[in-house]
């Protein structure tokens, strides 16, 4: 009888541990890959792609590959700095393709 009680206790403990392991939740957050590129993972441990995420009061854009955009225009409307945060209430001088002169067009090389 005592042997049977121990067996039931061990099996019950194993079942509880197995159930707990399957209910593991992941904390959402940033992760830097080996190339130094930041990615954001949601609470299901899925990489966030193609959307804005707000973190620490700042907005960051994750492209379709899940990479945090840096020092670039997003959708031709928003600019993100070299830290990846959207620039708000500030000026940023940028050069567009329209601002560049093509020496080939002027006949000069």
Question: Where residue 66 sits, what CATH number does that domain have?
Answer: 2.10.270.10
Q: How many domains does the chain have?
A: 1
- Which pLDDT score, from 0 to 100, does residue 105 have? 63
Cα 1–chain centre separation: 56
Q: Is residue 9 part of a domain?
A: no
Is 16 among the domain residues?
no
Residue 85 lies inside a defined structural domain of this protein: yes
Residue 88 forms part of a structural domain: yes
Domain for residue 20, yes or no?
no
Work out the pLDDT band at 96, boundaries 50, 70, 90.
Answer: confident
Instruction: Tell me the pLDDT tens digit for each residue of 7-27.
Output: 666 666 666 666 555 445 567
SS3 10: helix
* Structural domain span for residue 31: 27-98
> Residue 50: which pLDDT band, with cuts at 50, 70 and 90?
very high
How far, in Å, CA of 70 to CA of 61, rounded? 8
Q: What is the largest CA-CA distance in the chain?
A: 100
Q: Give the span between the Cα atoms of 83 and 56, in whole angstroms.
A: 13
């Amino acid at each position: 009888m005592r042997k049977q009680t121990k067996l039931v206790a061990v099996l019950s403990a194993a079942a509880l541990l197995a159930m707990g392991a399957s209910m593991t939740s992941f904390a959402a957050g940033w992760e830097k890959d080996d190339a130094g590129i930041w990615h954001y993972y949601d609470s299901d441990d899925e990489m966030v792609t193609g959307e804005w995420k707000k973190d620490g009061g700042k907005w960051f854009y994750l492209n379709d590959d899940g990479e945090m955009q840096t020092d670039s225009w997003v959708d031709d409307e928003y600019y993100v700095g070299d830290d990846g945060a959207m620039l708000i209430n500030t000026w940023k001088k940028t050069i567009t393709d329209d601002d560049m002169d093509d020496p080939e067009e002027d006949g000069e090389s």
